[in-house]
Structure 1
Amino acid sequence: MKKRISNIEFLRILSMIMIVISHISLYTNWEGISNLSPYSTVRLLGFDTLGPIGAVLFFMIPGFFARDYDVDKAIYKSLYKIKSVWIKTFLYSVCILFICYLLSLTKIGLKKAVVAFFPFSFNEYWFVTAYILLILSSPFINYILFKCSEKQTNYLVLMLFLLLFLELVNNSLVSRYFLALESYIIGFKVNFYKEKINSYKWTIWLSLIAFCLIDVCTIYFSRAIGMEFSHSAHFTQYVLAVVIATFIFTLFSVTQPLYSKIINTLAKGMFAVYLVTSNPNFQDYFYNSIIQMNKYQDKFYLPLVEILVTILICLFFGLLDVCLTSIFKIFKKVK
């Protein structure tokens, strides 16, 4: 059995850390947000810019491992993957619904119950829905990519990137699918041209630092020109996120291959971290009644607490999912 490259598997962990810390920044009920200065907005929402980057990184990973399989074989593999994702998402969605109901963590009406039982039909998790659509179409995407020349794939990447700028598609799910598709193709290209890329490592590092600073500056200027607090970190939405994620992904892909059982095992549980922390029935209670990051709003060490808490969240739910999956497999074998 082929070993998983831990460099890329670690990106699953990193991407989820980025998404969770972004949600801490965005969904915490900070005090006095209507009167915050641009500097204070950057301080509280700085990590929110990492969420889109994490999502793009996650979408790049399957593109990196794209192979020129027979289409029928690729369809079978994609359907098997979708089945796994569907079952896990459904089980977490329904279990969290019942836990929230039994512990009275939130009001559960008929609408919330229906959404929980049909998470894909009602787009309970946009990230999961876009991911499933991406995997579903990946056999045909791979077929096209392996037939296209480098110039043609470059054109396709540019076209999809421009859609992020122009927001030509108003339907948010379709827009997110285009984002996932753009990320997938970039991951594909990075894998095929990583030998050429390796010689530009320092340039990529400097570009990464520069674009990260620009991303943070957009929060400051967005607030300075009067944008609402919750939208201040989304002035460019996924445009800069795709650029920054590409630099990060490239740097990880050109490093010496690493193989770590610990990293590979933990990476398997990262999808569940998203399913728990982004569940709409549990999200508000989780961030404002359990995490309560607003208690540290005025502390100078707030960023350090956010980083530490995020890592602990990912470790806890990631390892919990690995354990539950192992128990499920044992019961399956017994049957």
Structure 2
Amino acid sequence: MPQPDKVTGRSARSLNIELLRILAMLLVVYCHMIIHVDFTNGASRIVLPMYPGWKSAISFAIVQYGQVGVSIFFMISGYFLVKKQFSWRRIFSTWFQMFLYAVLCLVIAIVAKQFRPLPFGTNELLSGSQTLDTVLWSLCPFLYNSYWFIDAYILMLLLSPFINTVYAHMSQKQILALIALLMFIGTWPLFFSRANHWNNVVYAVLGYIIGAYIQTYRNSLRAISNGVLAICTVLCTALMLGFNHFVLSESYWAQRLTWTAQIHQGLQILPIFIAFCFFVAACRLPQIRLPHIWSTFLLHVSAGTFGVYLLHENTFGFRFIWGVVASWLPNISSKTGFVLTYIVTGLLIFAVLDIIAMLIDRLLTHPLRRFIISKTAVNR
């Protein structure tokens, strides 16, 4: 998820892709909200409970649509970086932003704990023997896998020059064969969980290569009609719902195949297919043209999406944010009321966190990063 120093430097980039980036983070926010907020009882929780029936199947489909958002971010990276030179600054910028947010949340939590009890089990993170792990989690976020998505993203960046070199010497058929192979690896967890070579790095690399393919062969992809993209999205969503309903039924075969352990991520390849459809649709739509003030605003919002993730997936942040959201929820008695409340709440959370992220980046992240880079350059 490259974060250029200046928003004006992104003016040449497609607003369609920036809107896609915003949509991707909204999907991630909605995913985490359905996991951590119990709208029925107005309470927060750590995990989404498993119940038989379509209602629970839909809830887990929303969770899996969060993976659609993550896949889009990986694809955007491949789309823009496949023809670019390797940059240590890009890796440092990504790591430094993650580190700064983690430390900032830790400091705020420690200070706040001195004045009042923290919500949603946060006090335990700073009590007794757990304190050391919490501090290490914040000071060494990359080594501790504090943010799995950012860890995978940084490793993908480290691998990108090798991927780009190999990619440049492959034919279209070879690239498609590699994508198909990696997609097949994504199905292995379904085979009795005996052979599982799918992990976050493979996931990131696959998304990167698909994004690179869209960049390289975007003209030929125009042959895929919008109707085909829509049908593919609907079919993949229907398969996700069917899979979830079957797994949640707790039938003999669902347990025998050990698919209950896969309910959170579901059929991993389906969110990737949906992300591909979204991406191709965004690329083929007419380019959005907005007045300068609105395009600048949109680019600022897009630039804050990384911070939105770092805030609401922080070990303190998610407990505080979802705890507050759950306590403020109104009593919901109808399905329509639930849907409207869910949609509006997610938009509000995204908007508030994006504003906070933009302020943190403008006041702390970017100035400190530029200072460190300049000092490093001078020392050299």
In the superposition, the TM-score normalised over structure 2's length comes to 0.77
| CA distance, structure 2, for counterparts of residue 296 and residue 4 of structure 1 | 43
1:199 partner SS: coil
| CA distance, structure 1, for counterparts of residue 61 and residue 99 of structure 2 | 32
Q: How does 1:32-71 map to 2 (within 5 A)?
A: 36-69=51-84
Where structure 2 has 5 or more consecutive residues not aligned to the other structure, the ranges are 1-8, 42-47, 290-294, 376-380
Query: How far did residue 50 of structure 1 move?
Result: 1.1
| 1:249-290 deviation line (CA, Å, top 9, x unaligned) | 111111122253222221100001000111123323321333
1:253 aligns with 2:283: yes
* Contact 1:29/1:294 (<8 A) preserved: no
| CA distance, structure 2, for counterparts of residue 185 and residue 205 of structure 1 | 22
| CA distance, structure 2, for counterparts of residue 117 and residue 61 of structure 1 | 28
Amino acid at match of 1:52: Q
Structure 1 residues 244 and 323 mapped into 2: Cα distance closer, same or farther (>3 Å)?
A: same
Amino acid at match of 2:217: Y
1:6 aligns with 2:30: no
| CA distance, structure 1, for counterparts of residue 60 and residue 332 of structure 2 | 11
For residue 309 of structure 1, what is the aligned residue in structure 2? 345
* Contact 2:188/2:196 (<8 A) preserved: no
| CA distance, structure 2, for counterparts of residue 35 and residue 197 of structure 1 | 39
1:142 aligns with 2:164: yes
| 1:72-128 deviation line (CA, Å, top 9, x unaligned) | xx22x2x11111111111111011112222223212111111111100011000000
Q: How does 1:220-235 map to 2 (within 5 A)?
A: 220-225=245-250, 233-234=263-264
Q: How does 1:206-225 map to 2 (within 5 A)?
A: 206-225=231-250
Q: Which moved more, 1:279-288 or 1:175-184?
A: 279-288
Q: Which moved more, 1:275-284 or 1:297-306?
A: 297-306
| 1:113-151 deviation line (CA, Å, top 9, x unaligned) | 111110001100000000001111112211111111111
Query: How far did residue 44 of structure 1 move?
Result: 3.9
For residue 282 of structure 1, what is the aligned residue in structure 2? 317
The sequence identity of aligned pairs, in percent, is 24
| 1:231-253 deviation line (CA, Å, top 9, x unaligned) | 68436342211111111111111
For residue 197 of structure 1, what is the aligned residue in structure 2? 221
| CA distance, structure 1, for counterparts of residue 181 and residue 271 of structure 2 | 16
| CA distance, structure 1, for counterparts of residue 354 and residue 263 of structure 2 | 27
Amino acid at match of 2:148: W
| CA distance, structure 1, for counterparts of residue 169 and residue 327 of structure 2 | 51
Q: Which moved more, 1:292-301 or 1:234-243?
A: 292-301
1:110 aligns with 2:125: no
| 1:40-72 deviation line (CA, Å, top 9, x unaligned) | 313544421211111101100011113435xxx
* Contact 2:156/2:205 (<8 A) preserved: yes
| CA distance, structure 2, for counterparts of residue 304 and residue 198 of structure 1 | 35
Of Structure 1 and Structure 2, which has the larger fraction of its residues in helix? 1
Report which of the two structures shows the higher radius of gyration computed on alpha carbons.
2
| CA distance, structure 2, for counterparts of residue 35 and residue 267 of structure 1 | 34
1:130 aligns with 2:135: no
Structure 1 residues 213 and 157 mapped into 2: Cα distance closer, same or farther (>3 Å)?
A: same
Cα-Cα RMSD = 2.9
Structure 1 residues 295 and 3 mapped into 2: Cα distance closer, same or farther (>3 Å)?
A: same
For residue 267 of structure 1, what is the aligned residue in structure 2? 302
* Contact 1:92/1:276 (<8 A) preserved: yes
For residue 16 of structure 1, what is the aligned residue in structure 2? 25
For residue 96 of structure 2, what is the aligned residue in structure 1? 87
| CA distance, structure 2, for counterparts of residue 145 and residue 19 of structure 1 | 29
Query: How far did residue 216 of structure 1 move?
Result: 2.4
Which of 304, 323, 327 does residue 359 from structure 2 map onto? 323
* Contact 2:186/2:269 (<8 A) preserved: yes
How many residues get paired? Answer: 326
Amino acid at match of 1:288: G
Structure 1 residues 125 and 34 mapped into 2: Cα distance closer, same or farther (>3 Å)?
A: closer
Structure 1 residues 232 and 62 mapped into 2: Cα distance closer, same or farther (>3 Å)?
A: closer
1:280 partner SS: coil
1:121 partner SS: coil
In the superposition, the TM-score normalised over structure 1's length comes to 0.87
For residue 242 of structure 1, what is the aligned residue in structure 2? 272
* Contact 1:24/1:287 (<8 A) preserved: yes
